[in-house]
C-alpha cells in the first residue's frame, strides 16, 4: 500500500510540473527565406517583399553556416520587451465613445 501511495504522489507531482512548463512556453513561429544580413545579435531574412530582423544570442541553436544568400528557416517566439497601459476602464477594456 505504501509503495502505491508513493508512486501516485510521484506521478501527480510530475504531471503538475509538466503542465506548468507547457503553460509557460510561448507559441513557436517560423520564417523561411534567404539571409539578407547576419550579425552576432541578429539575423535578417527576406520573405517576399518583407525583411524579418530577428534577435539572436549565444543560446540560439544554429545548424550549418550562416551566410548572406543562404536559405534558412528561423524558428522564433514573440516576447514582450515592455508593456504600457493606457487610461481607461479598470478591467483593461476601453470605454465606448460618447454619442
Residue-wise pLDDT tens digits, 68-93: 999 999 999 998 999 999 987 666 55
Q: For the chain, how many structural domains are there in total? A: 1
Nearest to 81 by CA among 60, 55, 62, 58: 55
Segment 16-65, tens digit of pLDDT:
655 555 556 789 999 999 999 999 999 999 999 999 999 999 999 999 99
The reply to whether 36 falls in a domain is yes
The reply to whether 87 falls in a domain is no
**What residues contact residue 86 under an 8 Å CB cut-off, 6+ apart?**
94
In angstroms, the CA 40 to CA 60 distance is 10
Model pTM score: 0.61
The reply to whether 5 falls in a domain is no
* Residue 48 or 10, more confident: 48
Return the CATH number at 72: 2.30.30
The reply to whether 14 falls in a domain is no
Cell of 64: 550549418
* Domain region containing 56: 27-79
Amino acid at each position: 500500500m505504501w509503495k502505491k501511495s508513493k508512486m501516485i504522489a510521484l506521478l501527480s507531482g510530475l504531471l503538475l510540473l509538466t503542465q506548468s512548463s507547457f503553460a509557460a512556453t510561448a507559441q513557436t513561429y517560423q520564417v523561411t527565406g534567404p539571409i539578407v544580413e547576419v550579425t552576432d545579435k541578429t539575423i535578417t531574412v527576406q520573405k517576399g517583399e518583407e525583411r524579418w530582423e530577428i534577435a539572436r544570442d549565444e543560446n540560439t541553436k544554429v545548424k550549418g553556416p550562416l551566410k548572406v544568400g543562404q536559405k534558412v528557416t528561423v524558428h522564433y517566439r514573440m516576447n514582450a520587451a515592455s508593456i504600457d497601459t493606457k487610461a481607461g476602464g479598470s478591467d483593461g477594456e476601453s470605454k465606448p465613445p460618447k454619442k
